[in-house]
Chains A and B, each alone.
Chain A
Amino acid sequence: MMSRGWARTKASNRRGRRELPQRSRRNTYPSLLALIIVIVFASHSHAQVTFERLVDSAKEPQNWMSYSGSYSGQRFSRLEQINTGNAHSMVAKWVYQTAATGKLETTPLVVDGVLYATAQDDRAFALDARTGRPIWMYQRQLPSDIRPCCGRVNRGLAILGDKVFIGTLDAHVIALDTKTGAVVWDVTAADYRTGHSFTVAPLAVKNLIVIGISGGEYGVRGFIDAYDAETGARKWRYYTVPGPGEPGHETWEGDSWKVGGAPAWNTGTYDPATNQIFWPTGNPAPSNRGEGRAGDNLYSNSLLALNADSGKLDWYFQFTKHDEHDWDATQVPVLIDAGSKKLIAQADRNGYFYVIDRTNGKLFSAAPYGKTTWSDSKDAEGRPVANKNASPTLEGHTVCPGALGTTNFMAPTYDPQSGLFYVTARDQCDIFSTALQPYEAGHAFYGSAYFPSEEAKPYLGFLKAIDPATGETKMKFQHASPTWSGVLSTAGGLVFSGDAEGNFIAFDAATLKPLWHFQMGGAVYAAPIAFAVDGKDYVAIAAGSAIYTFGLP
């Protein structure tokens, strides 16, 4: 058992940065070699995004080519021009108004000087990353009768080849041309009228576009799909609720599996070494009523390891069995290598921080990182077990965390330099009630509701730094109120996050002391990214209804 923080990798991080030709200050390279590097780089700036580039994303830290910035899900940038010494002088560089209302949850992508992002109602756009000026704009014509849960949001694009990919609120997967925004292909994944939708940023792996469905509030049967990036042909579908004859089917009572939920609405991660996709799943349906679906309800609230080529399940780990509190496990599972250990860490909505051996799905450790009341014992594996009295009642009773969880979809970051995992957390308890509700296709299917418990006020919001070796919270910053912002760490020793009051904040990763902040005028529901163009580093985040970009003066 490791008792101290894990190995730091600062030196290796910096090397990748120094090798960027346009940044190199070394004069010792033979001129021919330098020329070759320049040619390779120049061709990159107009080249398509290949799978190899995505695997080696660490070699081009100026670009942010996937939802989490790398397949590991670490949301760590190797850029270091903006650092603890100068962050206090950061200024706004440009703002792009999307003209969309509601929550802006997008994570932009940046490739070779172009920023691609999405906004509500399935808008997508490409901007000059230096200036914020639009290159193209796209908006899907959505049917008038879509009813996506929890806002008409979209969390971002995937990019591969000469296309970007968006999942839409009417459950289509669409490929757009990176140069024009024109639709290249458009496939229907499911019927929106039965509550299916996409809000997730897809993940590009090899020649596949991997995407998970939303609709746990409508009693859909969850699935994860993979589409051929060239043609849109569906290559595989993995149903997250096993059908008759499949292992795990016995964990559902009667026909409850047919409306069992277990959606897959946050972006997973990928290990090229094993060709495994790690994708988390959401709540069983109805979320607030366990009666009628007796059993563990596999594979709801689980982390799934799928073979990328076949979509076949290698292993699973279920965080919350037979959930009755809407504790979707749809948090980004972060790959961390600690010495020879191949691990995956997830700060779960149920209030526990889990570290799992990613070679076999066995639990390494589970420790609370917020206020929890639902478990006071662990099973033989070390997995927290629910109290009998944690179940909701007709008139309701208080359980912590509340339905929104200790964290939610907001992206965390793992900083290999500090060895810490930074995550947005909330302390809030809710009163959970349960009531019989018949399933009706396309109608909300919760089995009652929850309310914030007045007794638990004030509800507290934090940025927490967790040591993944121990699960211990090493530091925390208390926000004025709970926030939905994701977190970014950088090689400059910084951690960036936002708040519900509209601030974008740069923290010292070593102390969580705020070094700089900017008032953006709208609450943050998105996660930050870092990129560079023309040798200048930037940090960007969506807030209110706009994309904001910051840099040094």
Chain B
Amino acid sequence: MAGRMWVAGLVFLGCVANGFTQNPLAGDSKAAKAGEYEFRINCALCHGLGAHGGGRGPDLARAQKRHAHSDSDMFQIISNGIPGTAMPANGTNGQGVGMTDEEIWQIVTYIRSQEVRTSAKTTGDAAHGKALFYGDGNCSMCHMVEGKGGRMGPDLTGVGGSRTREAMIESIRDPSRRLAWGLTEATKEFPQEYESVTVVTADGKQLKGVILNEDSFSVQMMDSGEHIHLLQKDKLKSFQKSRESAMPKYTTDVLSDKEVEDIVAFLASVGAQ
């Protein structure tokens, strides 16, 4: 037993020396189990129990991932984070503890064990979904995909690679249930969300829109005309926030289940690239 562990240790060191090109624990079910403990502690906060995604992080049980294709990609991402996203480098999220290289490989092995090895393709018609997105669905009035569309809502270029089909459908049918993340500021615990806001300025003008950022004393908002307003709260006649999304609920009267599937297929086809 001790001898086998010694060999395993040697293999592990070898992989370290090789620059993390290979997962030394690939397919090892015991390592996957150890990885599940580590995942619960370090990753589940955002990626959900079972790696199926939470409101905050992508579904990692999908075989197709936006940022990581190989095990070594995953290792690097867990170690170093993803710049410009909420994905932190190992040991810097302030919640869990830092992981050893071995523990990171265990997590990679666990994620692989959870993957549903099916194509990320949905059943919808992506071409029709695109037509709806930019046409009758009115999605592009507020959302941008690959540089085309509106600015009031979150840019959806990458959403197909980071959200489950179910999460996307829920966001269309019931957008207020989980508001989208907005700005993530360095070292701030929670990012801004797409909350709705109505203010009345000192001269009596009413502005409605979404909050881009906010602190106790100032607010940065965008109105429905995509004008940015930089306001001091103590100069306002009134300031009211709402967690009712500015996006309307798309009920089946507006978009059929098939049409929603088509839009999701379009977003998936862009986001998974």
Contact = CB atoms under 8 A, between A and B. Distances in A.
A147 B98 contact: yes
B216 interface: yes
Contact of A449 (B44, B55, B92): B44
Contacts, number: 97
Given A446-B41, A449-B41, A523 B94 contact: no
Smallest CB-CB A-B distances: 3 pairs = A501-B215, A147-B98, A449-B40
A523 B188 contact: yes
Interface in B31-65: 37-38, 40-42, 44-45, 48-49, 54-55
B217 interface: yes
B45 A147 contact: no
B37 A437 contact: yes
Contacts of A443: 103
B190 A481 contact: yes
19 contacts: A145-B100, A147-B98, A147-B99, A150-B97, A217-B97, A396-B49, A435-B40, A448-B40, A449-B45, A451-B44, A451-B54, A458-B193, A479-B216, A501-B188, A501-B214, A501-B215, A514-B216, A523-B185, A523-B188
Contacts of A395: 49
A51 interface: no
A499 B189 CA distance: 11
A435 B37 contact: yes
A218 interface: yes
Given A449-B44, A451-B44, A444 B215 contact: no
A523 B189 contact: yes
B54 A481 contact: no
A448 B54 CA distance: 16
Interface string B159-196: 00000000000000000001100000111111001000
A505 to B, nearest CB: 7
Nearest to A519: B215
B18 to A, nearest CB: 19
A105 B217 CA distance: 24
B62 to A, nearest CB: 20
B44 A517 contact: no
B106 to A, nearest CB: 10
Nearest to A403: B95
B216 A505 contact: yes
Contact of A218 (B44, B55, B97): B97
B162 to A, nearest CB: 17
A544 B185 CA distance: 11
B91 interface: yes
Given A218-B97, A480-B215, 6 more contacts: A147-B99, A435-B40, A451-B44, A451-B54, A452-B45, A499-B215
Nearest to A428: B190
B178 A454 contact: yes
A15 B32 CA distance: 66
A497 B40 CA distance: 34
Nearest to B106: A443
A171 B49 CA distance: 33
B189 A501 contact: no
Interface residues of A, number: 45
A457 interface: yes
Contacts of A479: 216
A546 interface: no
Interface string B202-224: 00000000000011110000000
B258 interface: no
Given A103-B187, A523-B187, A501 B216 contact: yes
A433 B49 contact: yes
B188 A481 contact: yes
A364 interface: no
Nearest to B233: A480
A517 B216 CA distance: 10
Interface residues of B, number: 35
A202 interface: no
Contacts of B189: 481-482, 484, 500, 523
B154 interface: no
Contacts of B178: 454
B96 interface: yes
A457 B215 contact: no
A149 B45 CA distance: 16
A444 B95 contact: no
Given A457-B243, A499-B216, A517-B217, A147 B97 contact: yes
A500 B188 contact: yes
B224 to A, nearest CB: 23
A535 interface: no
Nearest to B213: A501
A147 B95 contact: no
Contact of B41 (A396, A444, A457, A519): A444
Nearest to B101: A145
A509 B97 CA distance: 38
A437 B49 CA distance: 15
A435 B190 CA distance: 26
Nearest to A426: B189
Contacts of B179: 457
Nearest to A430: B45
Nearest to A454: B55
Given A444-B38, A501-B188, A451 B45 contact: yes
B97 A433 contact: no
A148 B98 contact: yes
A433 B36 CA distance: 13
A491 to B, nearest CB: 25
B190 A459 contact: yes
A218 B98 CA distance: 11
A448 B42 CA distance: 10
Contacts of A482: 189-190
Interface centre among A102, A480, A544 (most CB of B within 10 A): A480
B217 A503 contact: yes
A451 B188 CA distance: 17
A295 interface: no
Nearest to B177: A454
A287 B178 CA distance: 29
Interface in B83-111: 91-92, 94-100, 103
